[in-house]
Structure 1
Amino acid sequence: MISPINHAAGVWPVVLTPFRPDGKIDFPAYRKLLEYYIAEGVAGLFAVCLSSELYQLTPSERLELAREAVAVSSGRVPVVACGYLGNTEAEKLQSVFDMAALGMDAVVIPVCLLVPQEAGDEALFAAFETLLAQTAEIRLGIYECPLPYHRLIPPQLLGRMAHLAGERLAFLKDTCCDPAAIAGKLRACAGTSLRLYNANLTTCLESLKLGAAGYSGTSANFYPGLLAELCRCFRDDPERARELQQFFNLVQRHVEFKYPRSAKLFLRECGVPLSSFCRVACEELDRDQMVQLRTFHAGVQAFARSNHPQLLGETAI
């Protein structure tokens, strides 16, 4: 069986894919990006996900990126990556085995790929049950991926899946953005190995208080160190946690603007040598928008420096 995930609360960045200007994957830049995340104190890495431009990657590229993430991490943090992709059921299943063979701590299944959009909850449960039976002892995760369609798992159904899977279901990237639903999911999965990682920044602190294991969303490509601090301090220093959450809410619109290109440009300001090339359709930033992005970067630095100067200047690449 593949190794268990560290259940400590923390940040799991949705790992970007750096491309060269000719559109090919820039693996030296990818390695530096992974080192940057780890140096910022993340709890794990969610490689080969939607932010990685998942559907624009070839099957071999997905495996290459996942292999590199495991190699760079070298056991310092756990790594998960998406599987169950392909044009046929046989290809989807093989992708799970191929990804698991690289040493993933869990192979994450985009729930929208398990059943068609019109399928009901019982059909989803049956598909998950079949997947468990077909994948031997492989540890799995679930991702409420927004594409090709956005399917959320109701709390009761998620609880049934988690209890059925036992130790084999360990990771959920939750995208419901609803604290009440998150609370219901956590109650339904109590006593199981499943840990919930919230993708929604606005509800991050609230979800941590409810029992979520951490954060896994786009903002971790802008200030992973500050998010890691929130996950560490929310119990013992509620005032600092509130201050962090308020700052995140204030700057969230900058994170969403022209993502993922903006994230690559922001990380370049952090010293990670990324080009702005994206395979997904994403407009270039004009001159004024670049000025705004650099001002955003300076604001994040200033906020971190004002309370924790050790967060800055030690992780430049």
Structure 2
Amino acid sequence: MTKKEKGFVPVMLTPFKENGAVDFEGLDRITEFYLRSGAKGLFANCLSSELFELTDAEKLKVISRVMKAAGGQVPVVAAGNFGRTLKEQADFIKRVYDTGVQAVIVLTGLLAEEAASDTVLEDAIGRLLSLTGNIPLGFYECPVPYKRIISPQLLGKLVNTGRVIYHKDTCLNIEQVREKNRLCAGKPSFGLYDAYMVHAVASLRSGSAGLSCIQGNFFPELVVWLCKHYDNASLKKEVQLVQQFFIDEMDVMHRNYPKAAKYYLWKNGMNISVYTRESGNSQVSYAIKEDVEKLELRFRDLAEKIPGVLVRAQ
């Protein structure tokens, strides 16, 4: 995952069986689906994976299974700073790294209390770095338990240590993204992956290494296409259409997520259950079905206008 080739890194879903157990065969299928769609990396054990609903043992098993299914075709990163203390978080980071991931991702909201200053956050990060040897790390401004944004200045400082190679950005502010990319420029091992599709094109043009968004759990081929063609002058009109589609459909794809995404994939031939642990069931409301039906029709209409984007034949 480098800046030379913009790439889509899916925030992976975790399929469950109807009894709530992890569906590892389904996880293989969804991993293969991401790869067929053109993903350049995989983010396992993230919020979309329902990571806070997984036991520590399940987290490690899920990551290991993704590693096996990916088979070295693309790099894999995974969240790993779990524990009540920084020492416990560091120990679990080591266990995650032992699965073979390229980098272990640190959830910023688990490092300091919400009211704590940036100085407290920076100190916690420094201590975590010292407790984890030379393990490559990344950061994720995860919305849960609360969203803790890393400032451009702090991110630049961290990247300069040589230890931080990945950042999943959720600041929703294109000016901050531009500044982060400016301050981290010239570090070929580092990549910023933006989650906010409203400014996807501007983010890629500012130097972001790629996109890592929930929309990729509906339309991965469309996110891949945008990463390839965002700056193609001959496709300027089509790029604008795709960008506008993601702006217009933002609320729909966030609503009832991740169940709506699982339902969309199931409806289009993916052999996985719609079960989520948060809901404790695989029931799909009429509202979700209606949203997904309309969303699919709008996507099919868009795909007819975009060269190289094919509606999946199931």
Instruction: Give the alignment's TM-score, normalised by structure 1.
Output: 0.92
Aligned to 2:109: 112
- Native 8 Å contact 2:86 2:128 kept in 1: no
Structure 2 match to 1:253: 251
Which residue, 147, 155, 161 being the options, matches 1:150?
147
Report the equivalent of 1:171.
Answer: 166
Q: Map of 1:1-317 to 2, 5 A cutoff? A: 5-7=1-3, 8-163=5-160, 165-166=161-162, 168-192=163-187, 193-236=189-232, 237-281=235-279, 284-308=283-307, 311-313=310-312, 316=314
Distance 1:179 1:282, change over 3 A: farther
> Shift of residue 257 of structure 1?
1.5
Runs of 4+ more than 6 Å apart:
none
User: Which secondary structure state, in structure 2, belongs to the residue aligned with residue 197 of structure 1?
Assistant: strand
Secondary structure of 2:197's aligned partner: coil
Separation in 2, partners of 1:289, 1:149:
26
Q: What SS does structure 2 have at the residue aligned with 1:77? A: coil
Q: 1:270 to 1:308 in 2, by over 3 A?
A: farther
Matched pairs, number: 309
Shift of 1:205: 0.9
Instruction: Find the aligned partners of 2:225 and 2:97 in 1 and give their Cα distance.
Output: 31
Aligned AA (1:101): D
- C-alpha contact (below 8 Å) 1:269/1:294 kept by paired residues: no
Q: Which amino acid aligns with 1:186?
A: N
Kindly state the Cα deviation for residue 253 of structure 1 after the two structures are TM-superposed: 2.2
Q: State the distance in 1 between where 2:217 and 2:82 align.
A: 24
Change beyond 3 A, Cα 1:245–1:126:
same
Provide the alpha-carbon RMSD of the alignment: 1.8
Structure 2 contact 193–211 (Cα < 8 Å) conserved: yes
Matched-pair contact (CA < 8 Å) for 1:125–1:161: no
* Native 8 Å contact 1:106 1:141 kept in 2: yes
**C-alpha spacing 1:126/1:88, structure 2 compared with 1 (3 Å):** closer
Q: Residues of 2 paired with 1:121 and 1:204: CA distance?
A: 27
User: Please, which runs of 5 or more residues in structure 2 have no aligned partner?
Assistant: none
Kept after mapping to 1: 8 A contact 2:238/2:305? no
The Cα shift of 1:289 comes to 3.6
The range that moved more, 206-215 or 190-199, is 190-199
The question of whether the paired residues in 2 share the 8 Å contact of 1:162 and 1:194 is answered with yes
Structure 2: distance between partners of 1:223 and 1:313: 10
5+ residue gaps in structure 1?
Answer: none
Q: Distance in 1 between matches of 2:228 and 2:9?
A: 13
Structure 2: distance between partners of 1:263 and 1:104? 25
Deviates more, 1:242-251 or 1:275-284: 275-284
Q: Classify the secondary structure of the residue corresponding to 1:203.
A: helix
* Equivalent AA in structure 2 for residue 254 of structure 1: V
In 2, the alpha carbon distance for the partners of 1:16 and 1:288 equals 21
8 A Cα contact 2:194 2:210, kept in partner = yes
Percent of residue pairs bearing the same amino acid type: 34
Gap change, CA 1:180 and 1:309, over 3 Å in 2:
closer
Answer yes or no: is the 8 Å Cα contact 2:17–2:273 preserved in 1. Answer: yes
Q: Deviations over 1:78-130 (max 9, x none)?
A: 11000010233333111100110111011000011122222222222222222
CA contact (8 A) 2:28 2:65 kept: yes
Q: Distance in 2 between matches of 1:177 and 1:282?
A: 31
Q: Deviations over 1:206-257 (max 9, x none)?
A: 1111111111111010101011100100112333211210122222222012
TM-score, structure 2 length as denominator? Answer: 0.93
